[in-house]
Structure 1
Amino acid sequence: MMQKKWVILFGAVALLIGIYLSNATGVKDVAKPLPLSERTQYLHWYPEPRQITEFNITQHNQSPMNKQSLIGKWTLAFVGYTFCPDICPVTLAEINKVYPELKALAADSPLQVWFLSVDPKRDTIERLNEYVSYFNPDFVAATGDHEQLFPLVRSMGMMYSMTTNSDDPNYLVDHSASIVVINPEAKVVGRFKPVHEPGKIATSDMQQILNDMPLLLSSM
């Protein structure tokens, strides 16, 4: 009889332990935060972060820029050229409007805005300096020769091409309009796609950037 009581007692204890462990595991699963890719609303995440190719180009202040220049900070980057008639100046002007708020959000997480010119023939360093400083002296503008630019732009998930003969002084350059997000490990994690609305220039929505960037900045 005594043996039967001990069996019942041990069985009850085992059941209680099982219930406790089950509940504890359930609480842990509920409390586990969702990955960043599931918490942002507008950033289009790449399936896997994209490695940026090694590069050596020149910034608007004549200092060199390479992959190491992206380490340790979040970067909002886009490609274009200073002679661009619409997308580039509008994007720079719009991002400049929200930059103070972005900078405040990034108080403990370095953030840079990077304008990469894909028109080295006309965009001299002096012109880049004048151009980007007009919008915001905190922004980074850079360019290099096409041997550096083509693989760099491709590795960022973007593109560009000359639409007309560059012998024409007014030639145009076709280029991506997205703003890509580069993490502190110099990997492209996704992009804010341009918003297409009738009668408006297709550029990224700054309110979408303001909505999602705080989550990324707080993850450092």
Structure 2
Amino acid sequence: MPLLWGVGARWRELAAWSSLRRRAGGLSGGAGAALRRAKCPGEERPRAGGSAHPPPPFVPLLSVTALTGETRLQSGASGLQQVVKTRRSPGACLPAPGTLTLQSRRLCSQASDSSPRPRLRTKLLVSCLLGGALMGLWFLVHLEKERRRRERRLQQLQELALGRGDFNLLDQTGRPRTKSDFFGHWALLYFGFTHCPDICPDELDKMSSVVQMLDKDRTLPPVQPIFITVDAERDGVQEMARYIKDFHPRMIGLTGTPEQIEELGKAYRVYYSAGPKDQDNDYIVDHTIIIYLLNPDGLFTDYYNRSKNDQEIAESIRNHMKTYIKLFS
């Protein structure tokens, strides 16, 4: 049985090699000659003094590379390889008859499929250009609307700033003060009274802390803290001078007649009301607990109630300074 199996394998190998030589007969030029001169491993004779070894299994492989024009004859077991350059006729995709393999058919199929098609990258580029143009147009329209809105707002603020919240009071040194004295400076206003047990000192401490935080930033303009009394009967110039010493050194205390304070309270919508007097002729004044922010044009810009801490107020003032638009030249 092994003998029969070996004879059959050898016969199949010789048949494959004969078939390969017949196919080589159809090749023209050097390719056919090279294939016809190639010997089957079984045809080699043993050298003198040596013994013949059984030929290794021979698997013929003929492949054609259509793009480079190479014809390869390979023997996987014996290592035989011959490469012969063949010529292709201009415009021809297929090689000589009988030498087309799966590789050549696949390459030719790819070469013949050359119909123009729009690529995905081109589509994406066109879509991006159209989208960018639309976004640019929308942005220009948005800028124009914002410009008109700012102009209307600026006109309204100019009208509001003229004559609104103006005052003529005395500071802690007895010097007359008006609103125009603080034009060109950011200012924080707080309305209270010197006999306030706890709320006013707490708010003035917070306002002083805000001013100190802003003073640390050299790029920001200084902020002027101002304390205005709502108890004109008891808070004169001397009382204001003693009271504000416990707070920021730049703080200014303002007082005046009850009529002047009332008029100023209406301008800033500050509510205050004196309570009943006790046996010592002492009383508590109920009032609005708000810190007002005025910009350099003397315009009310923002306010901060008791729920805002010093850090939040300082950050808000920084933002207002960055977005500030000068109303008057």
- Percent of aligned positions with the same letter in both sequences? 25
Secondary structure of 2:300 counterpart: strand
Structure 2 counterpart SS, 1:194: coil
| Alpha-carbon spacing, 1:70–1:156, altered in 2? closer, same or farther (3 Å) | farther
1:117 paired residue number: 229
Q: TM-score, normalised by structure 2?
A: 0.49
Q: Which structure would you say has the larger RCO, counting Cα contacts within 8 Å and 6 or more residues apart?
A: 1
Contact 2:187 2:226 in 1 (8 A): yes
Alignment partner of 1:191: what SS? Answer: strand
Alignment correspondent of 1:207: 311
Answer yes or no: is the 8 Å Cα contact 2:214–2:222 preserved in 1.
no
Amino acid at match of 2:187: T
CA RMSD between the two structures: 3.0
Higher alpha-carbon Rg = 2
1:58 aligns with 2:170: yes
Q: How many residues align?
A: 182
Aligned runs of 1:67-216 on 2, under 5 Å? 67-105=179-217, 107-165=219-277, 169-195=281-307, 204-216=308-320
Could you report, residue by residue, the CA deviation over 1:129-163 in whole angstroms, capped at 9, with x for unpaired residues? 12112212211111111111112112112211111
Matched, 1:218 2:313: no
Cα distance in 2 for partners of 1:184, 1:172 equals 34
Q: Secondary structure at the match of 2:302?
A: strand
Q: Please, which runs of 5 or more residues in structure 1 have no aligned partner?
A: 1-17, 36-47, 196-203
Distance verdict in 2 for CA 1:20–1:219, change over 3 Å? closer
Question: Judging changes above 3 Å, is the alpha-carbon distance between structure 1 residues 205 and 154 closer, same or farther for their aligned structure 2 residues?
Answer: farther
TM-score, normalization by structure 1: 0.71
Hey, what does 1:200 align to over in structure 2? none
Residue segments in structure 2 that go unaligned for 5+ positions in a row: 1-129, 148-155, 325-329
Q: Secondary structure at 2:318's aligned position in 1?
A: helix
Instruction: Report the Cα offset of residue 113 of structure 1.
Output: 0.9
Q: Secondary structure at the match of 2:216?
A: helix
Taking a change above 3 Å as real, the CA distance of residues 210 and 108 of structure 1, as seen in their structure-2 partners, is closer
Contact 1:72–1:110 (Cα < 8 Å) also in 2: no
